[in-house]
Chain A
């Protein structure tokens, strides 16, 4: 090999961005086409550093916009090799057109999304607005709660996305700044083991196979469009979960680190739980433990796979609870939050189901504190005690001024 391996310690002190860059390096990506945007910029800066020091044999193309970044990724992926990039927020929004094109053309690409608010007003800090914007785009979406998850889920994402039964692009989400710029200990794999887990890239319908020319990105109207879209949805609903499960199982065998579609914490005997994503999961776990000391049987449910949405696993995890709260970190702009909707939808037809109340929090990087979560668990317990929801259905947490609530 013409490039150098990197010697890593068993535990490296990495922030989420470096964790993503290192996983990309170890996956031996062939082409990265990228454009800088806060807070994901270091992902590609680190990558450029690897390139400058001969730790990468692939090409890094610094393009002129995020739209072009994903366009270049699509062309490169269709040519037949491993492709990844990173973005955030406005860059993600600019990419949206091409996100649908990438998934509709069934091209495996890994996109690190360092979650950040969407303007206006302009804001560089973390919330899940960009993540939510991508949720109908036909991509697989993994969610990380810390730098370790970012590293592990990147390796897993390549394996799932590139599987010939899947051939769908995948996003790995992490919270802007809270994960992306917060250094923590990350357990590493050595370069060969990590690459061995991801595996060699196996091209399919590749444009560089000149003996088998392929037409990519066709026109279909009312005669065939629906079948194409239905097929994509069907594969997301039926084929992706088994592949993710298999990848999680393989990863656990390799590292001892176990991932689940839905990450439950102390839910087995719990009365109340919050359902959330990103860094909030770890905060909620800490508060749930404290609530137990106060006599409230509290648990936490973290969503690990956002798309496809794990309806069955969610129902399994929540059906025995009495009251739950969904925490959405994106402005619903005129309705209930996405998690409220999905989770209510996954349980509505069950015989037993918890009461659900929705909370909107953390927009533009506003902290979700332990005090907020303590109050929230207390409200859920009040619902349990009263046998009905005692609060409005939708409440905003941590916003200035009089308490904001709806429905």
Chain B
């Protein structure tokens, strides 16, 4: 049966055996590696992992090196989910045929991908995997931008962020469209479990990942991943940014069971104004000019509205 780790404090967490090595090429202060470690540390079971093309992939498997002490595959930008779905299917067959080399193991199949690889180019592949009911977990490392290719907008980039293809300038405040609500879309596949997590709330994350591993069927996890390079903040402030993201409710933490039951899993004691979250990042710097301040007000209203919506759903058990 599944073996989940019991981790009581951060020290235990940080000293547990790594299947993802610190030796990698990710930027100092990158949240991706923190999230990945938190996911892998949630279980002692064997893992079959994939990474779609992106920062995580190019920084962790540069021949002749690898940062992965677990089975790992990368095919392309769009199909990491389907890669682990294929492996999961093979596992099912070989188990039935009695051909597994270690039949007593209970492997977990996890696909990691950025928001570009999930919200945009890999959208169809993930939807297919969710609909077909593979026993896999797809984790989005959501930094709201194509960071690996140098900061282009994705459909996860929020209004007002300056990205290289939606630049702030004398006649532009940057991105004009709002972030796609991917968690809702995935939950609408009526999969057993979907959730939003953040690396600063590691206990919440581990609990959700462990729950995800315990259910039978596809799991979708959207992980807020503050990007020091493209959000433009000091690498030492990654966790501070994650705190601002969760406590301003820009990244509310919640879960959806079977696509039909929403639970808010974290309620900040002191809700931080969205303005503070925006002010901490260079990508929103221009919003503080007089002509764009209305956008900050709109941001706050949008976040308030979304929080009210999530609360209504929780209250109504839908």
Q: Which residues of A contact B (CB under 8 A)?
A: 2, 30-31, 33, 57-59, 61, 63-65, 67-68, 71-81, 83, 97-98, 101, 105, 206-211, 213-221, 224, 228
Q: Is B166 an interface residue (CB 8 A)?
A: no
Cβ 8 A contact of B76, one of A71, A76, A78, A208: A71
A68-B125, A98-B79, A215-B72 provided; 6 other pairs, C-beta below 8 A?
A: A61-B89, A64-B125, A72-B83, A79-B94, A80-B90, A210-B71
Is B93's CB under 8 angstroms from A75's CB?
no
Q: Which one of A63, A75, A218 lies within 8 Å of B62 (CB-CB)?
A: A218
Complexed CA–CA distance, A63 and B125 (Å): 9
Name the A residues within 8 Å of B127 (CB-CB). 64
In the assembled complex, B178 has its CB within 8 A of some CB on chain A: no
A156 to nearest B CB, angstroms?
A: 23
The answer to whether B50 and A75 have CB atoms under 8 Å apart is yes
Q: Are A210 and B102 in contact (CB under 8 A)?
A: yes
CB contacts (< 8 Å) of A220 on chain B: these are 62-63
Contact flag A67-B107 (CB < 8 Å), given A30-B97, A76-B89, A219-B58: no
Q: Report the minimum CB–CB distance from A76 to chain B (whole Å).
A: 4
A217 and B73 contacting across the interface, CB-CB below 8 Å: yes
Asked if B90 and A2 make an inter-chain contact with CB atoms under 8 angstroms apart, the answer reads no
On chain A, the residues within 8 Å of B63 by CB distance are 218-220, 224, 228
Taking a contact as CB atoms under 8 Å apart, the answer to whether B87 and A75 are in contact is yes
Size bracket of the B interface: 35 or more
- The complex places the Cα of A73 from the Cα of B76 at a distance, in Å, of 13
Residues of A within 8 A of B94 (CB): 30, 79-81, 208
26 contacts between A and B (CB under 8 A): A30-B94, A33-B86, A33-B89, A64-B127, A68-B124, A72-B86, A74-B75, A75-B84, A76-B87, A78-B87, A79-B94, A80-B94, A81-B90, A81-B93, A81-B99, A83-B90, A98-B79, A209-B102, A213-B68, A213-B72, A216-B74, A218-B63, A219-B61, A219-B62, A220-B63, A228-B63
Q: Give the chain B neighbours of A33 by CB distance below 8 A.
A: 86, 89
Complex-state Cα separation, A78 to B109, whole angstroms: 13
B143-165 vs A: 1/0 string, CB under 8 Å?
Answer: 00000000000000000000000
- The CA of A57 and the CA of B124, in the complex, are separated in Å by 28
Least Cβ–Cβ distance between A221 and chain B, in angstroms: 8
The one of A67, A73, A206, A211 in contact with B86, judged by C-beta atoms closer than 8 angstroms, is: A73
Give me the 7 closest cross-chain CB pairs, A-B, nearest first: A75-B86, A71-B79, A79-B90, A64-B128, A75-B83, A217-B74, A207-B71
- Interchain CB contact under 8 A, B79 and A68: yes
- Specify which of A68, A101, A105, A228 lies most central, judged by the most chain B CB atoms within 10 Å of its CB: A68
Specify the chain A residue showing the minimal Cβ separation from B57: A219
Q: Which residues from chain A contact B101 at a C-beta distance below 8 Å? A: 206, 208-211
Report whether B107 and A208 are in contact in the complex, using a CB–CB cutoff of 8 Å.
Answer: yes
With A71-B79, A208-B100: A76-B90 Cβ-Cβ less than 8 Å: yes
B46 at the interface (CB under 8 A from A): yes
Of all chain A residues, the one with the shortest Cβ separation from B74 is A217
Query: Inside 8 A of A211's CB, which chain B residues have their CB?
Result: 101-102
Give the CA-CA distance A345 to B287 in the complex, in Å. 63
Task: Assess the B46–A210 pair: CB atoms within 8 A.
Answer: yes
Inter-chain contact A68/B76, CB cutoff 8 Å = no
A-facing mask of B101-142, CB < 8 A → 1, else 0?
110010100000000000000001101100110000000000
CA separation between A210 and B71, bound complex, in Å?
7
A208-B96 contact in complex given A61-B89, A72-B85, A219-B63, C-beta closer than 8 Å: no
CA distance A294 to B160 in the complex (A): 80
Complex Cα distance A206/B94, Å? 12
**Is there an interface contact between B76 and A216, defined as CB atoms closer than 8 Å?**
no
Interface string of B31-67 (1 = CB under 8 A from A): 0000000000000001010100000011001111010
**A61–B132 CB distance below 8 A:** yes
Q: CB distance A208 to B89 under 8 Å?
A: no
Given A31-B86, A68-B125, A75:B73 Cβ within 8 A: yes
A68 and B58 contact, CB distance less than 8 A: no
Q: In the bound complex, how far is the Cα of B43 from the Cα of A121, in angstroms?
A: 53
Structural contact, B48 and A65, CB atoms closer than 8 A: no
Would you call A31 and B68 a contact (CB within 8 A)? no
- B68: chain A residues at CB < 8 Å are 213, 215
- Please give, as numbers and ranges, the residues of chain B lying within 8 Å of A228 by CB-CB distance: 63
Residues of the A chain whose Cβ atoms lie less than 8 Å from the Cβ of B99: 81
* Distance in angstroms between the alpha carbons of A63 and B48 in the assembled complex: 20
Residue on A with the closest CB to B101?
A: A209
Given contacts A207-B87, A208-B91, A209-B102, contact A98 B76 (CB under 8 A): yes
Check if B181 is an interface residue, CB within 8 A of chain A. Answer: no
| B87 x A68 contact (CB < 8 A) | no
Separation of A97 and B121 alpha carbons in the complex (Å): 14
Contact of B89 among A2, A65, A72, A98 (CB under 8 A): A72
Q: Whole-angstrom distance between the alpha carbons of A224 and B93 in the complex?
A: 35
Q: A2-B96, A33-B86 are in contact. Are A210 and B64 (CB under 8 A)?
A: no
Please measure, in the bound complex, the distance between the C-alpha atom of A233 and the C-alpha atom of B79, giving whole angstroms.
26
A155 and B50 alpha carbons, distance in the complex (Å)? 31
